[in-house]
Amino acid sequence: MDSQLDRRANIRTLRRLHRDGLLNDRALAVASSILRPRSAWLAWARQMLLLFGSAMVLAGVIFFFAYNWAAMGRYSKFVLIEAGIVAAAIASYWRGRDRLAGKILLLSASILVGVLLAVYGQTYQTGADAYELFTGWTVLILGWVLVSDFAGLWVVWLILLNTGAILYWKQVGDPAHSMPYESLCLVLAFFNGLALILYELGIRQGLEWLRGRWLRGLLFAGVLLSLSIPAVALIVSPESIKKLTLLATIAWGVVLVVGYASYRYKIHDMIPIALVISNVSAVLLILIGKILFHGGRWGVLSWGPVLFLLFSLIVLLVVTGAVFILRRTAATMAKNIGRGGDE
C-alpha cells in the first residue's frame, strides 16, 4: 500500500468528518498536526533551501568562468575547477553520504566535472563534438552515481545520458542518414524504461532514497515522450511512414496499456495514470485536428472560423473527459485502498 496515498486519504477523511460536523475545529487542527507535523514542513524547507542554494552556487561558478574567461590564465582555470572537485568530494565524504549535505556536495562535484570538460575543450580546442562531452561526463561520474544513494544525482546522470544520445543523433546519425529519428526515440525509451524498472525494483527492495514519487513520474514521462514522437508523426505525415515508425507507435501503445494497468491495479499511483491520460488526450487532439484542418475540402477558407470553433469545443470536451476519468479513477483507488484491497 502506498503510504503517501494512504496519508492523503486520511487527511481527506478528516476534512470530510469536519465538514459533516463530526469533528470540531480544534480536533481537526490536532489531527492534522499529527498527520502533517510542523517539523516535517521545516525539514522540507531546509532541504529545498539547501538544494536551491547549491544550484545558485554552481550557476555562479559557471558564470564566473564565462565572465572572466579572457582574463584568466590557462592553469588558473584548471587549478580552480579541480580544487573545487576535490574539495567537494572530500567534504561529501566528511559529511557522510547518508546526509543530504553530503549528497549535495557529491552532486556538486559531478557538475564541476562537466565544467572541467567544457573548459578543457575550450582551452585546447580539441574539435570534439558536443555529444562526446556529455558521454564522457556520464562515464566519469558513473562511480559517484552508483555509490551516492541520491535520486537527484541519478536524475542528473540520466539527463546527461539522454542529452548525449540526442546530440549523437543530431551530429552523427542524422547527417549521415545512418540513424533515423525513430531509432533515437526507441533508444531513449529503452534507457528511461530500464531506469524505471530499476526504480520499481529498488522500491520493492526497500531503498529509502528512491521513495520520492516524483522520480517515478519523471521516468515514466521520459518513456512516453520518447515514444509519442513517432505516434504523432504517424498522424501528421502518414504518407512517409516506415516500418520503424509503426514499431515505435506499437511500443507507445504497449507502454500506455501496461503502464495504466500496472499503476492503476498493482502499484496505485495517480501520477503515471495522469501522464497516460494526458498523453492520450494530446495525441487524440492532434488526430482530430489533422482530420478537421487537413481532411479534403474541410480546410477551405469559408469553413475556417467554423472549424476553429468546433475544434475549441472538442478541446473542451476532451479535457473535461480526461479530468472526469482522473477524478473517478482517484476516487475508486482511494476506496479500494481504504478497504485494504487491490494490492
Domain ranges of the chain: 70-179
CA 11 to the chain's CA centroid: 27
Q: Which residues contact 212 (CB under 8 A, 6 or more apart)?
A: 151
| 3-state SS string for the chain | CCHHHHHHHHHHHHHHHHHCCCCCHHHHHHHHHHHCCHHHHHHHHHHHHHHHHHHHHHHHHHHHHHHCCCCCCHHHHHHHHHHHHHHHHHHHHHHCCCCHHHHHHHHHHHHHHHHHHHHHHHHHCCCCCHHHHHHHHHHHCHHHHHHHCCHHHHHHHHHHHHHHHHHHHHHHHCCCCCCCHHHHHHHHHHHHHHHHHHHHHHHHCCCHHHCCHHHHHHHHHHHHHHHHHHHHHHHHCHHHCCHHHHHHHHHHHHHHHHHHHHHHHHCCCHHHHHHHHHHHHHHHHHHHHHHHHCCHHHHCHHHHHHHHHHHHHHHHHHHHHHHHHHHHHHHHHHHHHHCCCCC
Predicted pLDDT at 318: 95
pTM over 0.85: no
* d(C-alpha 319, C-alpha 274), whole Å: 12
The closest of 160, 81, 95, 91 to 123, measured between CA atoms, is: 81
Q: Are the beta carbons of 126 and 117 closer than 8 angstroms?
A: no
Note the residue count of the chain.
Answer: 343
* d(C-alpha 311, C-alpha 333), whole Å: 33
Residue 26 half-sphere exposure toward CB, CA atoms < 13 A: 0
How many degrees, rounded to 5, is the angle at CA 297 between CA 292 and CA 302?
Answer: 85
Query: Which residues of the chain are modeled with pLDDT < 50?
Result: 1-9, 298-301, 341-343
CA 252 to the chain's CA centroid: 17
For residues 40-52, one letter each, b for 16 or more C-beta atoms within 10 angstroms of the residue's C-beta and e for the rest, the string is: eeeeeeeeeeeee
241: left (phi over 0), alpha (psi -120 to 50) or beta: beta
How many Cβ atoms from other residues are within 10 Å of residue 321's Cβ? 13
Predicted pLDDT at 342: 39
- Residue 151 is placed in which grid cell? 535520486
Q: Which residues contact 26 (CB under 8 A, 6 or more apart)?
A: none
Place of cell 511500443: 251
Place of cell 485494504: 340
Predicted pLDDT at 33: 67
